[in-house]
Amino acid sequence: MPAIEVSAPDVESAIAQGLQQLNLIRAEVKIEVLDEGNRGVLGIGAKPARVRLTPFAELEMQEAASAAAAPSVAEASSPSPSAAEPPSAAPQAVEPSPIAPAPPEAPEEAAAPKIEGEELALTLVRDILRLMGMKRYEVKAHSVVPANGDEEPFIWVDVTLGNAHDEEMMLSHQREGLNALQTVVQTMWSHRTRSSLRVNVDVNGYRRRREQHLINMARRLADKVVAHGKPITLEPMPANERRIVHMALRDRPGVFTESFGEGSSRKVQIKPKR
């Protein structure tokens, strides 16, 4: 999500409008005041304030791209072959030295044996998309077991939409279409299987991107809580997103998380451990 510039009568109004456009909170963006503006005298000579809001997720992508483009230290410092070096009397076959592979990162999820009901979840999603009038889509499902062993396995259904209008219908207006699809599929699947396992439905990779964004945000805010010793309260979130924040910080030294509030106003607070 790229940076945006917003103009308004004052700085706070401009920031609020920008956050609403990005659908983010203050803690998720870098705020730059480009012009504090001027209210003028009786409206005469008034000048709007301008701010630039850059999502931290965008800055992280830029940093990652810069790091990938930068030459490695070994490449930059390796000397060119010198013509003064005498050639060896005879070429010798040299065994290539094995390169020790980097230790793999522990995956958060691992493939699981197929959960009974996986095909049902696939069929339900396909049938609902067909009844919605969508024609260009691909649906895949697989079972997942969390690597931490503390959570139950679940079914993940990936939906790839080939039509921009269909994608907008599912993901616009705070993802109401995707949330409705998720609710209907979960309700029908649980009723048919009599199981309490989760069925997660994703559209064009949105949930995976959102999950990684929430994890990065939670870790960044936890660092601030540790540094300043003051709690930070996040904006209201649905239950599945609050769970992501709790799981991201459950083993984080120096902080703990709590949810409070009722219904759609329920929030997560990151607190310092005393």
* pLDDT tens track for 175-187: 889 999 999 999 9
Share above pLDDT 90 across residues of the chain, in percent, rounded to a whole number: 44
Residue 43 is predicted with a pLDDT of: 62
Residue 99 is predicted with a pLDDT of: 36
* pLDDT tens track for 13-63: 888 888 888 877 777 788 888 988 887 666 677 788 899 988 877 777 777
Compute the mean pLDDT over every residue in the chain, rounded to the nearest whole number: 81
| Residues 22, 55: Cα–Cα separation, whole Å | 8
Residue 246 is predicted with a pLDDT of: 94
What is the CATH architecture of 109-204?
A: 2-Layer Sandwich (3.30)
**CA atoms within 13 Å, Cβ hemisphere of 241:** 23
Residue 21 is predicted with a pLDDT of: 84
- State how beta strands 137-146 and 154-161 pair: antiparallel
CATH class of 209-272: alpha beta
Residue 113 is predicted with a pLDDT of: 76
Residue 103 is predicted with a pLDDT of: 38
Share above pLDDT 70 across residues of the chain, in percent, rounded to a whole number: 78
Domain ranges of the chain: 4-62, 109-204, 209-272
Residue 41 is predicted with a pLDDT of: 64
Residue 206 is predicted with a pLDDT of: 92
pLDDT confidence bin for 191, thresholds 50/70/90: very high
pTM of the predicted model as reported, rounded to 2 decimal places: 0.58
**CA 114: distance to chain centroid?**
26
Residue 16 is predicted with a pLDDT of: 87
* pLDDT tens track for 200-257: 999 999 999 989 999 999 999 999 999 999 999 998 888 888 999 999 999 999 999 9
Residue 250 is predicted with a pLDDT of: 92
